[in-house]
Amino acid sequence: MGSLDGFGVNLVIPHHMPTSTEPFRVVVAAGGTGGHIFPAVAVVERLLEQTSGACQAVFLGSADRMETTLIPQLGYRFVPMPITGFRGVMSVSTLSLPFKIWKSITIARNVLREVRPHAVICTGAYISYPAGIAAIKEGVPLFVLESNLNPGKANARLVSKATAVVLAFEESRKYYSDAIADKLHVLGNPVRTQIDASHPAAIAREAFGLHPSIPTVLVFGGSLGARSINTAMENALGACATAPFQVLWQTGKGWSSHAEIPKNVAVRPFIDDMGLAYAAADVVVCRSGATTLAELALVGKPAVFVPLQTASMNEQALNAQVAQQRGAAVIIRDDQLQERLFATMSELLNDEIQRNQMAVAMKAMGRPAAADAVAHLIRRLALREHR
């Protein structure tokens, strides 16, 4: 069975690759944010599909982040580790960080010895480091998934020993040494199948209490919101009240506007069905995390990106620059947002030709077969080494 990867390359993906009778076992290190968790879950879902359910997955993560509850809710076994991110040289937690790393590596190695996985999958952030080191020490094939343009700190320390490194962007190759060039696979950033923007725009808008035929801007900053985006949007509410467009605004939980909400602005603290929200939108204003960019590319929506300036490796700015260079997005810095947000929304909503060109460019960045291709790669290489 073949499918197109979004760049016109036909991917041959046999869904029933010959294996032994034992289930395909994976240990996955993913946590901290949805941007690290959901690509991993997407790959595991595809592994389950490709093996007709004969796949067992155990997730490793932090003891106090969203994966602690999310992963069990999705039906997977979850093992917490005490490791935390680096919080500065003056932080008390930094003093205990070496012990937490050692303890986390020990926990990960014990899980590997118990599960005897065919593969370990790491999607980045600090949680990946102990799991990756455990895989290397236990001789388990290691697969590193890098969803951003540039590698994160943990992934950068693991790639030289990895069996394969999956990249989302062709432009990412320049960040890796020639010595591991043959390990690099540009397959895209896996996205879960729950993102479905095929709903008619009119029906999607009505579902959020908006007018079915008025152009719409979707504004969001992630499940927790983004303070700078929310503040700028709140300041723009007066202008939005008389604008020839409407706004669907996800504020994130815990944010409440002090300004009066116009009738043409629908406010939601959280949106469960992002596919429906994308379907309602003509333009999307948001951060430029890797998962968000991958979703927008799948649904082909023009973007106004507001990169998170405190990202540790400047990854959001670099992600946004790739989309801007391809003509799929415009960028507004956090410190420009107050003065430029409403004007930028208005300009794009008034220029249908530019919007359509941006939509085509964004759609061209999509890799709809990414999760399938990554799962196939992991099975093929892991089973080869497992023989």
Summarised one tens digit per residue, pLDDT across range 30-79 is 887 777 898 999 999 999 999 999 999 999 998 888 888 899 999 999 99
The full set of domains in the chain, from first to last, is 2-189+368-386 (3.40.50.2000), 201-364 (3.40.50.2000)
Distant-in-sequence, close-in-space partners of 243: CB < 8 Å, separation ≥ 6: 264, 342, 345, 346, 349
* DSSP3 helix / strand / coil % (the chain, rounded to 5): 45, 15, 40
Q: Minimum mean pLDDT among 63-67, 192-196, 296-300: which range?
A: 192-196
Q: Is the pTM of this model over 0.75?
A: yes
> How high is the pLDDT of residue 68?
86
> How high is the pLDDT of residue 310?
73
**Dihedral over Cα of 314, 319, 321, 322: its sign:** positive
> pLDDT band for position 156 (50/70/90)?
very high
- Yes or no: say if 284 and 296 are a contact pair by the CB < 8 Å rule: yes
- Yes or no: say if 123 and 158 are a contact pair by the CB < 8 Å rule: no
pLDDT of residue 116 exceeding 70, the answer is: yes
Outline where DSSP puts E strands in 210-293.
216-220, 246-250, 265-268, 283-286
> pLDDT band for position 8 (50/70/90)?
very low
Query: Cα separations (Å) of 151 from 41, 139, 160, 332, 370?
Result: 20, 23, 12, 23, 18
> How high is the pLDDT of residue 312?
67
> How high is the pLDDT of residue 170?
94
